Structure 1
Amino acid sequence: MKDFDTDRFCYDGDKPFKLKKAPTKVDDLYEDDDHYEALLRQQAAEIDKWQERMFAHNRFGLLTVFQALDAAGKDGTIQHVFTGTNPAGVRVYSFKRPTDQELDHDFLWRSWRELPERGTIGIFNRSYYEEVLVTKVHPEILTASQRLPEKTTEDLDKLFKHRFEAIRDMETFLFRNGFPTIKFYLHVSKKEQGERLIARIVDAEKNWKFEEGDVKERDFWDDYQDAYETCISETATSKAPWYVIPADDKKNMRLLVGRIIIEELKKLPIAEPESNDERFKALQKLIPVIEAQ
């Protein structure tokens, strides 16, 4: 297996983070398509095995957060990495524009409702981080639709400082209660994103993926880069690190995400289900009963 050093993509707040220094492309981790498929299947089997152990142990859950700009590959990564994992062991939730009910609560409320149970892997496709990313690039959202007290929006720097603090507190709280959080930023270059958006226009079968608003958001590319750099710097901790994954090659991206999830699952103090000789012998006596039924 080629270089799967995932530490180089990890940011846990112990050093300054500069998004421009983070690569969007690395050398291939696979030799060819067949090798890639074999690695992906191997990883899927490992994730399934460790999720099953986590379920049997019933003390921990895992939250994985996927953030990215449009067309970076969130949906495809989630689909490919978790293919083969017991559906009962994963909880996928995609966060869209807040509903009226969600706007009548604090910005973290809708995320608390969708957190995974013990023994399961929670997958957030976008997340509470939208509230310090999109709203930072478009602060008018805060005043126009978020129904915040007027005094709260008078000092936006202070507002975002408090939101970053609330997110750190939330993730620390989850960690202490057996729910570590892994956060992925799928880092795609502007050139690659543009090519993927054009591909969605050219291929009629992919038109459904294309939204005209994605083109307008590209005008704010630099603003989003700044917002992500600030967000990652403010919320990367040892308890909830960020992984900035090169996303120009989708296959590399999926393999890296899968490997990181396996590594994080292995860090959990999960005990293997213990065999019990007495119970094993008692269960053997039930075999003829079942066969006779």
Structure 2
Amino acid sequence: MKDFKPDRFRYDGTEKLSIDKAPTKVDDLYKDSDEYEDILRQQAAEIDKLQDELYAHNRFGLLVIFQALDAAGKDGTIQHVFTGTNPVGVKVASFKRPTDEELDHDFLWRSWRELPERGKIGIFNRSYYEETLVTKVHPEILTQSQRLPKESTEDLDKLFKHRFKAIRAMEKYLYQNGFPTVKFFLHVSKDEQADRLIARIQDLEKNWKFDEGDVKERNFWKEYQQAYEDTINKTARKRAPWYVIPADDKKNMRLLVGRVIIEELKKIPMDNVKPDKERFDELQTLIDVIRKQ
């Protein structure tokens, strides 16, 4: 794999994201399909090993959030990057349109219920960030569907300011309690999204992935781009960074995400799970006991 520095795509509040300047494609990180598969397997094995250490240490968890426009490749990225990770140590939650029960609570409630336990990697396929993205593009959701007090929706700028503040506080709280957060925006171009949506229509076996609503949402492309830029700039912090990953090439995207996950797991202090020679020697005395039972 070519040299790759995750910081190239990292936003942690030290500089602002200009989404128009963020690339949707980079030079290939692999020379052919065989090398891509080899790198993907190596990354999967490394993530699995680091997750084992996280599980054994049992002091920290990692929350990984995936956000993207339709057809950017969230599902496939999660599947490929974590395909070799022990299922016991991974928890995946997908967030769709809020249910009646979820609408009867605050906008963060359903996310709190799905947070990972210590020792696990929690993966959010979409997240509470939908409430600063979709609702910003379609404010009628707030005023007509979310059962909010009238005074809360009279000034939507103020409402979003409060939501950004609540999200920053939540992620800071999680970090302080041993749950760092890493967030991915899979940045796909409008042309590439069009090609993928058309491919879903033309392939009988992929029709199930197609939603007519995706076509309507393309009319709000600029609004979504602005909403993502605002959301990332308002919530990017050193302890809860965003990574804006070029998504026009799915293979590159998966390798980039995998490398970031590895680097973020390595930052978690887990020194006390290193091999203990004294403990090893003690356990050897039990081998004969087991054999004689």
Q: TM-score range by the shorter chain?
A: over 0.9
Task: Among all aligned residue pairs of Structure 1 and Structure 2, give the percentage whose two residues are the same amino acid.
Answer: 75
Report the AA paired with residue 269 of structure 2: P
- Give the deviation of 1:200 after TM superposition: 0.2
Structure 2: segments with no counterpart, 5+ residues:
none
- SS of the residue 2:192 aligns to: helix
For 1:102, the equivalent position in structure 2 comes to 102
Report the AA paired with residue 172 of structure 1: K
For 1:273, the equivalent position in structure 2 comes to 273
- SS of the residue 1:216 aligns to: helix
- SS of the residue 2:70 aligns to: coil
- Give the deviation of 1:285 after TM superposition: 2.9
For 2:202, the equivalent position in structure 1 comes to 202
**Are the structure 2 counterparts of residues 235 and 206 from structure 1 closer, same or farther at C-alpha, using a change threshold of 3 Å?**
same
Q: Is the 8 A contact 1:80 1:254 kept in 2?
A: yes
Cα deviation digits, residues 242-285 of structure 1 (max 9, x gap): 00000000000000000001001111111252444554344223
For 1:257, the equivalent position in structure 2 comes to 257
For 1:222, the equivalent position in structure 2 comes to 222
For 2:243, the equivalent position in structure 1 comes to 243
Q: Is the 8 A contact 1:53 1:271 kept in 2?
A: no
Q: Number of paired residues?
A: 293
For 2:192, the equivalent position in structure 1 comes to 192
Q: How does 1:54-133 map to 2 (within 5 A)?
A: 54-133=54-133
Cα deviation digits, residues 4-62 of structure 1 (max 9, x gap): 12111001111121000100000000010000000000000000011111111111100
**Are the structure 2 counterparts of residues 83 and 65 from structure 1 closer, same or farther at C-alpha, using a change threshold of 3 Å?**
same
- SS of the residue 2:271 aligns to: coil
Q: Work out the CA distance in 1 between the residues paired with 2:93 and 2:129.
A: 14
Q: Name the TM-score, length of structure 1 as normaliser.
A: 0.98
Q: Name the TM-score, length of structure 2 as normaliser.
A: 0.98
Q: How does 1:126-165 map to 2 (within 5 A)?
A: 126-165=126-165
For 2:11, the equivalent position in structure 1 comes to 11
1:22 maps to 2:16? no
- SS of the residue 1:245 aligns to: strand
1:51 maps to 2:51? yes
- Give the deviation of 1:144 after TM superposition: 1.2
- Give the deviation of 1:190 after TM superposition: 0.3
Q: Is the 8 A contact 1:143 1:153 kept in 2?
A: yes
Q: Work out the CA distance in 2 between the residues paired with 1:60 and 1:23.
A: 33
- SS of the residue 2:148 aligns to: coil
**Are the structure 2 counterparts of residues 272 and 50 from structure 1 closer, same or farther at C-alpha, using a change threshold of 3 Å?**
farther
Please list every run of at least 4 consecutive aligned residues from structure 1 whose deviation after the TM superposition is greater than 3 angstroms: 274-282
